[in-house]
Structure 1
Amino acid sequence: MSGLILPPGQGRRLTTRAQDVTFKATAADGSGTSIFEVVVPPGFDVGAHTHGRFQEFFYVLEGTLELFAFEPVGRSGESWRDWVSEAGDRVVHAGAGSSMFVPSGCPHAFRNSSDEPARMLFQSSPSPDHERYFEEICEIFAAGQAVDPDAVQRLRDRYDVQQITPLRYEPHPEPTYSGSPS
C-alpha cells in the first residue's frame, strides 16, 4: 500500500476563465475525501447553497475571500453578503490561514470581492461527486462567454447542491487610462 505525494503545482488541473482547479487527492487515489486546490478569480461568487449529504472544508492559502457558514435569520434577496444568524454571526473577510468547516445541511458561500485571485485548499467528503461536479462545471464555463444558468442548475440538481442565491462571475473590468503616459 502506498500514499500519494505531489510536488507543488502537480495534480490534474482544470482551467477555464472562471475556474482553476487542481485535483490533489481523489477517489481514484483511494481517498474517501476529495481534495482540491482552487484559484478563485476576482468577481467570482459561488452563491449561497447547501448540501444534503456532503461536508466541506475550506482553507485560504493566499488572498482574501468573503465566507459564511450559518443558517441566516432570513434567506432573502439575491445576495447572501448581508445575512446574519440568530446568534449574530455575519459574513467574514477571511485572509490566508483562515478556514471554514461546513457540515451537511449548513448554508454557506464564498466570494472573491478583491482585485486579486485568491487560492484555497478545498475538501469535500465523501468523494467522488465533487470531482465530477468540477469536471462538468468547467465544461459549462468553457462553452462560451455567457454561463448557461439552466445548465448550472441541472448540474447542481445532479450533485446535491441546493442553490439559495445565484452563482455569479462578474470579472473586474480592465483599468482604463486617460491622458498621456508618464
Structure 2
Amino acid sequence: MIQDLKEDYFNDLLEDNATIILPEEGEELALNDIRFTFKVTSEMSNGQLGVYTIALAPMAIGAKPHYHRFMDEIFIVDKGLLTLQVGQKEFQASPGAIVYVPRFTPHGFRNDTDEEVRLTLLFNPSQKREGFFRGLHETLGEDPIDPKKYLKLYNKYDSFPVDISNMIPKR
C-alpha cells in the first residue's frame, strides 16, 4: 500500500537557524580610510539581506552619488555626524538617525568632520554585496585607480554613478 504524502498546509515547520553576531565579530576589510565589517551576509540570508558596519575616518568619502535598480539601502548612524546626499538635498545625520533610500534614489555619503563616523548599512535584497566590497577593496587599493574597472564593478553589483566623470570616492 502506497501512503499519500500530503503537505501540511496548517502547521508551521519551526527551525533553529538564528545567528548571533557580536560587536567584534565579522569579516573586516580595511581600505585607506574606510573599514567594512560583514555582519549578515548574502550567504547567511539566502540573498535577502546584507548588514554591514562601516567606519569612516575623518574626511573620508563612503560613496559619491549613485543609485541602485534592484535593492533598497538603509543607513543607521551609530557614531559621529554623517553627511548624506539624497537626491538634490544634503544633510547631516547624527547618531540614532535612520535613512531609508529606496531603489532609483540617488544618494552618496561621507564624513565631513575631524572624528570617525560609524554606521550600519543594510541592503535588501543583498545582491551578494560582499563581492562589491571585496572588489572595492581591490580596485581602490590600486594606484592609479582604473575608472573603467571601478565602473564595471559598480554596475555588476547594481550600483550606477550619477556622474561617471566624478564617481571615484576621493576628495
- Same-fold call, TM > 0.5? yes
Count, aligned residues: 151
TM-score, length of structure 2 as denominator length: 0.81
* 1: CA distance, partners of 2:44 / 2:68: 24
1:104 is matched with 103
- Give per-residue Cα distances to partners, 1:49-89, cap 9 Å, x unaligned: 1111110000010111111323x3xxxxxxxxxxxxxxxxx
* Deviation of the 1:28 alpha carbon: 1.7
Q: Does the Cα contact within 8 Å between 2:40 and 2:50 map onto a contact in 1?
A: yes
- Give per-residue Cα distances to partners, 1:115-155, cap 9 Å, x unaligned: 122100000111243221001101112334x4332221111
**Are 2:150 and 1:152 equivalent residues in the alignment?**
yes
Between structure 1 and structure 2, the one with the greater Rg is 2
Question: Identity over the aligned pairs, expressed in percent?
Answer: 26
Compare relative contact order (CA 8 Å, sep 6+) and give the higher one, 1 or 2: 1
* 2: CA distance, partners of 1:54 / 1:44: 24
**What is the Cα-based RMSD across aligned positions, in Å?**
1.6
1:77 is matched with none
2:135 is matched with 136
**Are 2:50 and 1:34 equivalent residues in the alignment?**
yes
Q: Higher strand share goes to which structure?
A: 2
Match of 2:33 among 2, 13, 18: 18
1:84 is matched with none
Q: What 5-or-longer segments of structure 2 have no aligned partner? A: 1-15
Q: Does the Cα contact within 8 Å between 2:73 and 2:100 map onto a contact in 1?
A: yes
**Are 2:45 and 1:51 equivalent residues in the alignment?**
no
Secondary structure of the equivalent of 1:169?
coil
